[in-house]
């Protein structure tokens, strides 16, 4: 106790006086001063760690914390007030550096998993219990009743989960995955897909233009052209990825979204193959109770084209509800047989080969499957939302 009181008194006496009063005017004198403070700190840490019982040890540590790190009258605070502020300009950087080191050493020494020992050289040091287990110093008892640190486990993002589930279904059908650039030329994004220059989709209000010949792709369909350019039939691919359109954000729209498009080209492929493929996929993704229907539609790159609806997942298509707008059906994706005009861009023989293509929005599928009502939730990074998908 006498040693501890003497150390505290010595340290307090030092920091209550200015450097000029202490006769310190250069770096060696400053170094000797901080070394003395470090020694006094280690003496107090060592005595606090040897207190018994645990309550006395904790009280000693709290008293030590207030004395060294207290915000109003702590030793570290007094150094700032009495040494640093009035010090010569050339000594201030050295004082700040040593002050930060002293503060860090005091904080580490006060942590419950630290102890103070004396190395073989006789110099007081702080370190982890594992690093000093061989030193003959007092060791704090391990309190096994304390709660453990719970490691937060991350979860797969619902959009990544949906893409993975979609991909696995098509893998089982013999499809492979292809990818392409987000920044695309107008040729691959429009011309090669039979979208003429005067088509509304090419307007500035619908498409993000990087320059007159480059856009942020509005769909993942360009990858279909790129794949057919480098590969002769048979072709069976899906193309998951991001797409960008000039849409105002709301509960069902976003300027950036995800698509999965599919393409199958071979000899003797018919519309019946397309219907069978999509019916199988939708039942595998949403459940065997789902029914599908195909409605005539139009897309520049397919002929004939169709919209695919599924029976409402919420009312079962029996009575109708707000989600399906009382119709019993929910519009889901577009599809069709590949327009033979596209084959001229990839040197396929249209008289020999035929194929089908389809495209679906991942967010739309995920919203229906997981019961999400606002598409913006997928992009906000709210852990309260994401933790529901454990």
> Which residues lie across from 336 on neighbouring strands?
305, 357
Neighbour order of strands in the sheet with 292-299? 176-177, 235-244, 256-266, 354-361, 329-338, 302-311, 292-299
Q: Which domains does the chain have, with CATH numbers?
A: 2-128 (no CATH), 158-389 (3.30.930.10)
What pLDDT, on the 0 to 100 scale, is given for residue 285?
A: 95
User: What pLDDT is recorded for position 98?
Assistant: 86
State both tokens at 22: 């202490």
Residue 238: which H helix or E strand, with range? strand 235-244
Q: Within the chain, how many helices (H) and strands (E) appear?
A: 13, 12
Q: What is the pLDDT of residue 352?
A: 93
pLDDT tens-digit series, residues 243-283: 999 888 888 889 999 999 999 999 999 999 999 999 999 99
pLDDT the model gives residue 12:
76
Going from the C-alpha of 102 to that of each of 41, 66, 105, 269, the distances in angstroms are 9, 15, 5, 77
Check residue 7 and give its pLDDT.
54
Predicted local distance difference test score (pLDDT) of residue 27: 83
Mean of all residue pLDDT scores within the chain: 83
pLDDT attached to residue 318: 63
Tens digits of pLDDT across the chain (390 residues): 444 455 556 777 778 888 888 888 888 888 888 888 888 888 888 877 776 666 777 788 788 888 888 877 788 888 888 887 888 888 888 888 888 888 888 888 877 434 443 333 344 444 444 444 444 444 457 778 888 888 877 888 999 999 999 999 999 999 999 999 999 999 999 999 988 888 887 887 788 999 989 999 999 999 999 999 999 999 999 999 999 998 888 888 899 999 999 999 999 999 999 999 999 999 999 999 999 999 999 998 999 999 999 998 888 666 778 777 878 898 999 999 999 999 989 999 999 999 999 999 999 999 999 989 899 999 998 888 888 887
- Provide the sign of the torsion angle of the four alpha carbons 286, 292, 296, 301, taken in this order: positive
pLDDT of residue 317: 61
Instruction: DSSP letter for 173, please.
Output: T
What token pair was written down for 17?
A: 């006086």
Beta-sheet pairing, 329-338 with 183-185: unpaired
Show the tokens assigned to 253: 């729209």
Instruction: Give the span between the Cα atoms of 166 and 163, in whole angstroms.
Output: 5
Q: Are 378 and 291 in contact (CB under 8 A)?
A: no
Q: Say whether 263 sits in a helix, a strand or coil.
A: strand
């Amino acid at each position: 106790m006498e040693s501890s009181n003497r150390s505290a008194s010595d340290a307090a006496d030092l920091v209550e006086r200015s450097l000029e009063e202490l006769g310190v005017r250069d770096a060696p004198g400053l170094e000797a001063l901080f070394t003395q403070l470090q020694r006094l700190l280690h003496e107090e840490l060592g005595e606090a760690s040897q207190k018994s019982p645990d309550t006395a040890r904790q009280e000693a540590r709290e008293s030590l914390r207030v004395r060294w790190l207290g915000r109003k009258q702590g030793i570290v605070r007094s150094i700032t007030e009495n040494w640093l502020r009035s010090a010569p300009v050339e000594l201030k950087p050295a004082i700040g550096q040593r002050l930060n080191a002293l503060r860090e050493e005091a904080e580490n020494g006060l942590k419950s998993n630290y102890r103070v020992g004396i190395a073989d050289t006789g110099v007081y040091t702080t370190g982890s219990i594992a690093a000093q287990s061989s030193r003959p110093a007092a060791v704090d008892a391990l309190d096994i009743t304390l709660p453990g640190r719970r490691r937060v486990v991350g979860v797969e993002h619902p959009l990544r989960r949906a893409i993975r589930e979609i991909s696995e279904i098509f893998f089982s059908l013999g499809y492979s995955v292809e990818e392409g650039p987000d920044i695309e030329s107008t040729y691959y994004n429009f011309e090669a897909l039979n979208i003429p220059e005067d088509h509304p989709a090419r307007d500035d209000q619908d498409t993000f233009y990087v320059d007159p010949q480059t856009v942020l792709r509005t769909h993942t369909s360009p990858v279909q052209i790129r794949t057919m350019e480098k590969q002769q039939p048979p072709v069976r691919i899906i193309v998951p990825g991001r797409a960008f359109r000039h849409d105002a954000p709301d509960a069902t729209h976003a300027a950036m979204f995800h698509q999965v498009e599919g393409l199958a080209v071979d000899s003797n492929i018919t519309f019946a193959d397309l219907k069978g493929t999509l019916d199988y996929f939708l039942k595998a993704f949403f459940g065997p109770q789902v029914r599908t229907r195909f409605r005539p539609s139009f897309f520049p790159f397919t002929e004939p084209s169709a919209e695919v609806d599924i029976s409402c997942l919420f009312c079962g298509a029996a009575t109708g509800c707000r989600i399906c707008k009382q119709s019993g059906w929910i519009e889901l994706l577009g599809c069709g047989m590949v327009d033979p005009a596209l084959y001229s861009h990839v040197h396929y023989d249209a008289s020999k080969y035929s194929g089908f293509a389809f495209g679906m929005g991942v967010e739309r599928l995920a919203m229906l499957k997981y019961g999400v009502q606002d598409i913006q939730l997928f992009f906000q990074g709210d852990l309260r939302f994401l933790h529901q998908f454990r």
